[in-house]
Amino acid sequence: MSLDDTLGIRVNGEHRRVNGGITITEMLNELGLDPHRVAVERNLAVVERSKFTEMMVEDGDDYEIVHFVGGG
Amino acid sequence: MSVEQPIKADSWTVAGRTFSSRLIIGTGKYKSLEENAAALKASGAQIVTVAVRRVNISDPSQPMLTDFIDPKKVTYLPNTAGCFTADEAIRTLRLAREAGGWNLVKLEVLGEARTLYPDMRETLKACQVLVAEGFEPMVYCVDDPIAAKQLEEAGAVAIMPLGAPIGSGLGIQNRVTIRLIVEGAGVPVLVDAGVGTASDAAVAMELGCDGVLMNTAIAEAKDPVLMARAMKAAVEAGRLAYLAGRMQKRRYADPSSPLAGLI
């Protein structure tokens, strides 16, 4: 935790700072993403979508946020 | 079958889901999502393969595949293309299950970038883990009847041998092994990869496969929508020929007109 109450996290390999005390849903909204269209991995463990609204973002978290794209 | 009998509706079932189309198409390499959706419509396919990739957090407003191909109407089959280890493939499919909410997936673990040949040791390992976690994996594999058997024993819900290397368009290189896999399998067999044009798809179906999966053959055709239509017709024609049972091959000619009564 930094002095300004923001958290340092990684999202898809990029470092980001977000406000403290937010849930995963709030983080996704902040990133402009629709929680119903993505899947989230937090520190290598898949987060069930039903937990998005309750699970808090913690300092140092490493997220992978994925969705379906065209592929063979 | 007598001439009066209507042709029975033909369908196939994988992991309890029944489909009337035996063609599965990919959603990669198209010029646009619009073209992809038009090709899908022309192909009549009811299943599309999709990849799982990071969202673009710098531009989250980009058009999405789901805006053009409705996952409620078309079955999305998440694929692990691009994974080179069992662990990567398992991780990808765990996320895919969460993104889509279903267990039917396509497992593909590649051995090397040059040939994109499957790594069967890693594929088998991943298949076992996925089945234990409740997944229903359709599995891309080498055209090897023994490997196919081992995958089926490990719980694969469909066996998907390559016809030729991915994206090569070389057509089915070994009809004997594909036929042996079909004869030995208790689950659906679909040729996956290597189809280049309509006759290749027909050959796969004539060998008794339950279906064909292709991406590049349609996406890289000069007119992908027209090729999608051709593939639909080829898969249907090949299937009908298989059901009809082809004539025996002969080494020499056999006249079609009677020899008796010649003037």
The torsion defined by the Cα of B20, B21, B24 and B28, in degrees rounded to 10, comes to -120
> pLDDT tens digit string along A16-45?
999 989 999 999 999 888 888 899 999 999
How many DSSP H helices and E strands does chain B contain? Answer: 9, 10
Which of B29, B106, B149, B232 is labelled catalytic? B106
Do A33 and B57 lie within an 8 Å CB cutoff?
Answer: yes
Chain A residue numbers touching B79 (CB-CB < 8 A): 71-72
Residue among A43, A72, A42, A33 nearest B55 (CA):
A33
Q: At residue A15, does pLDDT exceed 80?
A: yes
* Degrees to nearest 5, angle at CA B103 with B210 and B224: 50
Q: Would an 8 Å CB–CB cutoff place A15 in contact with chain B?
A: no
Distance (Å, whole) CA B25 – CA B131? 24
Q: Contacts of residue A62 in chain B, CB cutoff 8 Å? A: none
- How buried is B248 (Cβ within 10 angstroms: 0-12 exposed, 13-18 middle, 19+ buried)? exposed
Catalytic residue flag (residue B106): yes
**The pLDDT of residue B62:** 80
Cβ-count burial B41-75 (b if 16+ within 10 Å, e if not): ebbbbbbbbbbbeebebeebeeebbbebbebeebb
Please give the model's pTM, rounded to 2 decimal places. Answer: 0.89
- Among the partner residues B50, B60, B61, nearest to A70 by beta-carbon distance: B50
Residues of A in Cβ contact (< 8 Å) with B49: 71-72
pLDDT score recorded for residue B64: 85
Tens of pLDDT, residues B207-221: 999 999 999 999 999
Q: What distance in Å separates the CA atoms of residue B176 and residue B174, rounded to the nearest whole number?
A: 5
Report the 10 Å Cβ neighbour count for B254: 7
Q: Which two tokens stand for residue B112?
A: 């090397």
**Strands B211-214 vs B190-192: parallel, antiparallel or unpaired:** parallel
| Residue showing tokens 């198409």 | B25
* Interval A7-18 mean pLDDT: 92
Dihedral sign, Cα of residue B78, residue B10, residue B191, residue B150: positive
Reading chain B (263 residues) residue by residue, the pLDDT tens digits are 555 666 667 899 999 999 999 999 999 999 999 999 999 999 999 999 999 999 988 887 788 888 899 988 999 999 998 999 999 999 999 999 998 878 999 999 999 999 999 999 999 999 999 999 999 999 999 999 999 999 999 999 999 999 999 999 999 999 999 999 999 999 999 999 999 999 999 999 999 999 999 999 999 999 999 999 999 999 999 999 999 999 999 999 998 999 899 88
Tell whether A37 lies on the interface with B, counting CB pairs under 8 A. Answer: yes
Distance, C-alpha B22 to centroid of its chain: 8
Quickly list H helices, chain B.
Answer: 33-43, 65-68, 86-100, 120-132, 145-153, 175-184, 198-206, 216-219, 224-244
Partner residues linked to B43 by β-bridges: none
Which candidate from B60, B79, B100 shows the least CB-CB separation from A71? B79
Q: Which residues have C-beta within 8 Å of that of residue B148, sequence separation ≥ 6?
A: B141, B159, B161, B181, B184, B185, B189
Residue A13 pLDDT exceeds 70: yes
Comparing alpha-carbon positions, the chain A residue that sits nearest to B78 is A68
Task: Give the per-residue pLDDT at A39.
Answer: 94
**Token duo for residue B255:** 């006249």
Q: Model ipTM?
A: 0.90
Q: Which residues contact B237 (CB under 8 A, 6 or more apart)?
A: B202, B205
Q: Is B103 on the interface with A (CB under 8 A)?
A: no
Closest C-alpha to B191, from B199, B207, B183, B102: B207
Chain A CB contacts of B97 under 8 Å are 46
Query: Is B38 an interface residue toward A (CB < 8 Å)?
Result: no
Q: Token digits for B62? A: 């980009």
Return the SS3 of B192: strand
Q: What is the pLDDT of residue A12?
A: 94
Q: Does A66 touch chain B (CB under 8 A)?
A: yes
Among A2-16, A47-61, B245-259, whose mean pLDDT is lowest? A2-16
By the 8 A CB rule, do B43 and B53 touch?
Answer: no
- H or E element: which one contains B71? none
For position B61, what pLDDT does the model report? 77
What is the token pair recorded at B200? 């290749």
- State what percent of residues in chain A have pLDDT above 90: 69
